[in-house]
Amino acid sequence: MIARGHVTAADTLDELASSTGMDPSKLKASIDTYNAVVSGAQTDPLGFTANNTADAQMTEGPWYACKKVPTVHHTMGGLEINVNSEVLNTNDQPIKGLYACGEVTGGIHGSNRLGGNAICDCMTFGRNAGTHAAQNAGVSVS
Ligand SMILES: Cc1cc2nc3c(=O)[nH]c(=O)nc-3n(C[C@H](O)[C@H](O)[C@H](O)COP(=O)(O)OP(=O)(O)OC[C@H]3O[C@@H](n4cnc5c(N)ncnc54)[C@H](O)[C@@H]3O)c2cc1C
* Res 140: pLDDT: 86
Give me the domain span that covers residue 117. Answer: 86-136
The verdict on residue 77 lying in a domain is: no
The verdict on residue 124 lying in a domain is: yes
CA distances from 111 to 54, 107, 139 (A): 30, 7, 36
- Taking the complete model, does pTM exceed 0.75, yes or no? no
Question: Would you tell me how many other CB atoms lie within 10 Å of the CB of residue 61?
Answer: 13
99 and 55 both lie in a single domain:
no
Residues in Cβ contact with 24 at an 8 Å cutoff, skipping those fewer than 6 apart: 13, 14, 17, 18
In angstroms, what is the span from residue 103 Cα to ligand 1's centroid? 6
* Res 54: pLDDT: 87
What pLDDT band is residue 113 in, cutting at 50, 70 and 90? confident
Question: Would you tell me how many other CB atoms lie within 10 Å of the CB of residue 12?
Answer: 13
| Average pLDDT over all residues of the chain | 94
In angstroms, what is the span from residue 91 Cα to ligand 1's centroid? 28
In angstroms, what is the span from residue 100 Cα to ligand 1's centroid? 13
pLDDT in tens, 36-72: 999 999 999 889 988 888 899 999 999 999 999 999 9
Domain count of the fold of the chain:
2
∠ CA 9-14-20 to the nearest 5 degrees? 55
What pLDDT band is residue 123 in, cutting at 50, 70 and 90? very high
Cβ–ligand 1 distance for 118 under 6 Å, the answer yes
